[in-house]
Chains A and B, each alone.
Chain A
Amino acid sequence: MSRIDCDQALAHLQDYLKRELTEDLVVEVRDHLERCQHCFSSARFEESFFLMLETRARRETCPGELRARILAALRAEARGD
Chain B
Amino acid sequence: MAEPTEAGRSFDDEALPHLDALYRVALRLTADPSQAEDLVQDTMLKAYRSWRQYRPGTNAKGWLLTILRNTFINDYRRRKHEPIAMDLEAVEPHALYRSMQESDPEGTFFSQIVDDKVLEAIDALPPDFREVLALSDIEGMTYSEIADTMKIPVGTVKSRLFRARRQLQAELYSHAVEMGYIQARESRT
Contacts and interface: CB of A to CB of B under 8 A. Distances in A.
Interface of A: 11, 14-15, 18, 20, 41-42, 44-54, 56-63, 66-67, 69-70, 73-75, 77-78
Contacts of A74: 1, 11-12, 44-45, 48
Given A44-B106, A52-B118, A77-B49, A69 B41 contact: yes
A62 B23 contact: yes
B142 A20 contact: yes
B66 interface: no
Interface in B59-115: 100-101, 104-108, 110-111, 113, 115
A77 B136 CA distance: 32
B110 A73 contact: no
Interface of B: 1-2, 11-12, 19-20, 22-24, 27, 37, 40-41, 44-45, 48-49, 100-101, 104-108, 110-111, 113, 115, 118-119, 122, 133-134, 136-140, 142-143, 158, 161-162, 165, 169
Contact of B113 (A41, A46, A52): A52
Contacts of B140: 54
Given A66-B41, A70-B44, A77-B45, A45 B122 contact: no
Nearest to A44: B106
Interface of chain A, main secondary structure: helix
B122 A46 contact: no
A56 B143 contact: no
Given A20-B142, A62-B40, A77-B45, A49 B161 contact: no
B86 to A, nearest CB: 19
A52 B44 contact: no
A20 B157 CA distance: 11
A14 B143 CA distance: 12
Given A56-B115, A61-B23, A73 B106 contact: no
A73 to B, nearest CB: 6
A58 to B, nearest CB: 6
Contact of B41 (A14, A44, A70): A70
A70 B106 CA distance: 43
Chain B CB count within 10 A is highest, among A15, A51, A60, for A60
A66 B37 contact: yes
Contacts of B106: 41, 44-45, 48
Contacts of A58: 24, 138-139
B41 A57 contact: no
Nearest to B2: A78
